[in-house]
């Protein structure tokens, strides 16, 4: 049984990745902001605490690492935290892994499609020139550049996930917000530009992609989009939710939620992912919304 270390193990993606890897025979160890009593192989370690981080990595001796821990909410109020956690914290982790007597066989760093920005439309592949538009995106792109310094020491893969959702995602994100309004049978919802189209994936498909990337024979330094390759507009999302629930809601545009110079269409090109892990057949968003609306956004 191979041993994997997941950082951010108690976060939204970490819960699903743990289940995905365990189902495929991995032994899971974790690092998070807090350790829960039922997780004997998990420890609360601050990525900025170099000594504690080195101790835990040395104890785990992972054969694979998936680095999910990050400040991920774009509207987070403390800009410094993006760089402390997403950049410096990642560097501390890579330094700890490089210091092991036996390096891991694969280190998967979760970056973000936010690095592409909001001004380049169409299907974006991994060669698209980055154009980050906020501190979160800049911190993730900075992490990618910093990770290059470790390519000669660690087998690093950089994953750039596009939008994804599922049961348990914070209500501060767009689709859980919409789901919550329909579950409450609200009469009104305020959104931004409802005519934009985006690439949405299911968290269960995203963690499947992460596992398959871990288990693939990749060259060092591969950068891979994780996306569905399908476009869905916010109006279509609302229509799907209405069809599933039978509830009709008045959706209005709040100018405060509209981004300046936002592109109409932003989609990922999943060609490289398909090449690396085999046929990529993510489930349609309608199925994901059915799951979320029937289960609730708070259960994981």
Q: Which of 16, 83, 116, 136 is catalytic?
A: 136
Q: What is the dihedral of CA 126, 131, 137, 140, to 10 degrees?
A: 50
Question: Helices H, strands E: what count in the chain?
Answer: 10, 15
CA 48, 54, 60, 66 torsion-angle sign: positive
CA 172, 284, 201, 1 torsion-angle sign: positive
Q: For residues 53 and 92, is the Cβ–Cβ distance under 8 A?
A: yes
Cα separations (Å) of 204 from 209, 264, 266, 282, 285?
9, 27, 21, 9, 12
Residue 136 among the catalytic residues? yes
Residue 47 CB contacts under 8 Å (≥ 6 apart), including other chains: 7, 53, 69, 85, 88, 89, 90, 92, 93
Cα separations (Å) of 124 from 127, 251, 272?
8, 29, 11
CA 167, 266, 144, 24 torsion-angle sign: positive
Q: For residues 64 and 104, is the Cβ–Cβ distance under 8 A?
A: yes
Smallest Cα–Cα separation from 175: which of 161, 187, 159, 189? 189
- How many CB atoms within 10 Å of residue 45? 23
CA 98, 30, 87, 144 torsion-angle sign: positive
Burial class (CB within 10 angstroms; exposed 0-12, middle 13-18, buried 19+) of 86: buried
**What are the catalytic residues?**
136
């Amino acid at each position: 049984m191979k041993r994997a270390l997941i950082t951010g193990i108690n976060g939204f993606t970490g819960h699903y990745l743990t289940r995905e890897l365990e189902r495929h025979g991995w032994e899971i160890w974790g690092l998070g902001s807090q350790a829960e009593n039922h997780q004997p192989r998990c420890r609360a370690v601050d990525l900025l605490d170099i000594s504690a981080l080195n101790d835990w990595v040395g104890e785990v001796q992972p054969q694979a690492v998936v680095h999910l821990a990050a400040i991920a909410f774009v509207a987070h109020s403390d800009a410094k935290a993006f760089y402390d956690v997403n950049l410096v914290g990642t560097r501390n982790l890579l330094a700890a892994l490089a210091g092991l007597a036996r390096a891991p066989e694969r280190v998967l760093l979760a970056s973000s499609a936010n690095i592409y920005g909001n001004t380049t439309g169409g299907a974006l592949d991994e060669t698209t020139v980055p154009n980050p538009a906020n501190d979160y995106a800049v911190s993730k792109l900075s992490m990618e550049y910093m990770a290059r310094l470790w390519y000669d020491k660690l087998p690093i893969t950089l994953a750039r996930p596009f939008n994804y959702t599922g049961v348990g995602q914070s209500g501060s994100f767009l689709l859980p917000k919409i789901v919550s309004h329909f579950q409450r049978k609200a009469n009104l919802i305020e959104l931004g530009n409802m005519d934009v189209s985006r690439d949405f994936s299911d968290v269960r498909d995203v963690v499947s992609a992460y596992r398959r990337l871990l288990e693939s024979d990749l060259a060092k330094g591969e950068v891979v989009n994780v996306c569905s390759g399908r476009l869905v507009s916010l109006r279509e999302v609302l229509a799907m939710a209405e069809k599933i629930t039978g509830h009709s809601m008045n959706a209005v545009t709040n100018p405060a939620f509209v981004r300046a110079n936002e592109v109409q269409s932003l989609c990922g090109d999943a060609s490289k992912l398909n090449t690396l892990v085999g046929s990529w057949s993510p489930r349609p968003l309608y199925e994901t919304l059915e799951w979320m609306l029937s289960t609730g956004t708070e259960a994981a």
